[in-house]
Amino acid sequence: MNEPVRPDDMRVSDAERTVVQERLRRAVGDGQLDLHEFDTRVQAIWAAKTRGELVRVTADLPQPPPPPPPPAPRQVFSRDDAGTAMRVLTIIWACAVAINVVIWGTVSLATGQFIHPWWLYVAGPPGAVLAVLYAFGIGRPQP
């Protein structure tokens, strides 16, 4: 009658050997092993036939710390981002309007006559869009 095989006597696969080799690689990175020890232990890993032999290769190494928890998902756009965007858009709009008003005023003074205030066409539509966005709460400071 066959006796059950003890866990330490079970044969190992290449996948299991690779996992143990990766653990040794991390131990080198953490300063727990030098390169000579790493090389010696990797040779022992690939020569190992049973799980018990693999366990003995890493028995003196501390257990690796658990992986850090994944970061909390971040919203793509927060209210702070919207506020920053609104400030930038408002500054750009104000600069464009100021440049157009200066050009209109200069032309009006140079010709000596009142020219139709065409700069309102530049200021009006984008200004209205910014006002509606602000009215709906986009770009307002958080309470």
Contact 9, 53 (CB under 8 A): no
Residues of the chain short of pLDDT 50, as ranges, are none
Residue 68 CA to residue 25 CA, distance in Å, equals 19
Q: How confident is the model at residue 141, as a pLDDT? A: 65
pLDDT of residue 95: 96
Model pLDDT for residues 70-90, shown as the tens digit of each residue? 887 766 655 567 778 888 999
Model pTM greater than 0.85? no
Q: Report the pLDDT value the prediction gives residue 136, as an integer from 0 to 100.
A: 84
| d(C-alpha 25, C-alpha 46), whole Å | 14
pLDDT for position 129: 92
